[in-house]
Amino acid sequence: MPYDKERVARRLKSLRVDAGMEQADLAEASGVGLGTIASAETCRTGMNLDTAFDLTEALGCTLEQLVCRDEGRVA
């Protein structure tokens, strides 16, 4: 299955909201730029692997949870 940027965008926002974070909070916690997070969540851009790892670390989730093909499957 190919990389689904829209699905990852939805998952990123969902994980962030579930963590009780605003985009600015996630930017500060992860070291990822606020614009990068906003662009990823609105599907304007994808993200590289380094960014994905930084975000998952700040969100307390795994890379698999972020890019999970089954949106309902979160540990």
- This prediction has a pTM of 0.86
Domain range list for the chain: 5-67
The closest alpha carbon to 31, from 60, 47, 51, belongs to 51
The whole-number average pLDDT for the span 65-74 is 66
CB atoms within 10 A of CB 26: 22
Share of the chain above pLDDT 90, in %: 77
Q: 3-class SS at 18?
A: helix
Class of domain 5-67: mainly alpha
- Under the banding of pLDDT at 50, 70 and 90, the label for residue 75 is very low
The closest alpha carbon to 19, from 55, 48, 59, belongs to 59
Instruction: Please give the radius of gyration of the chain, using alpha carbons only, rounded to the nearest integer.
Output: 11
